[in-house]
């Protein structure tokens, strides 16, 4: 019998798109494989191991994924669909040549323009 399967990262992306960013789906899938967590009483387990990026990875059957999504939606009707990416704006120094893992970038606290004469308590004040 032929079965369509997806790798764990693809399943995590699909779950985030279909059920929303309520949790880190990569970690949730790993914890489900270990038997540590369930989502609204539902568990999604891999169907087999398959080659993905030159290593053996857990693979999930497409019908099992769709059944899991339907069961979670039935248990939690507030699960949102088609959630946009959560993009953050950071202050970066283009002359910084350190490796990526040593650079700690400050996340901008707001996306609106500062107003003239704003105090520290008003939304117009934007700390630097």
For 16, half-sphere exposure in the C-beta direction (CA atoms, 13 angstrom radius) is 18
Q: At what angle do helices 25-34 and 8-19 cross, to 10 degrees?
A: 120
Buried b (16+ CB within 10 A) or exposed e, 4-23: ebbbbeebbebbbbbbbebe
pTM over 0.85: no
* pLDDT one-digit tens code per residue, 28-85: 999 999 999 999 999 999 999 888 778 888 999 999 999 999 999 999 887 777 666 6
């Amino acid at each position: 019998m032929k079965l369509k399967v997806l790798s764990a990262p693809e399943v995590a992306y699909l779950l985030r798109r279909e059920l929303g960013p309520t949790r880190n789906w990569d970690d949730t899938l790993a914890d489900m494989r270990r038997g540590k967590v369930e989502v609204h009483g539902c568990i999604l387990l891999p169907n087999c191991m398959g080659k993905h990026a030159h290593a053996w990875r857990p693979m999930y059957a497409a019908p099992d994924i769709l059944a899991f999504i339907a069961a979670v939606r039935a248990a939690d009707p507030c699960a949102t669909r088609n959630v946009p990416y959560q993009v953050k704006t950071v202050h970066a120094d283009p002359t910084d040549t350190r490796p990526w893992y040593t650079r700690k970038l400050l996340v901008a606290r707001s996306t609106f323009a500062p107003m003239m004469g704003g105090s520290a308590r008003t939304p117009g004040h934007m700390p630097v």
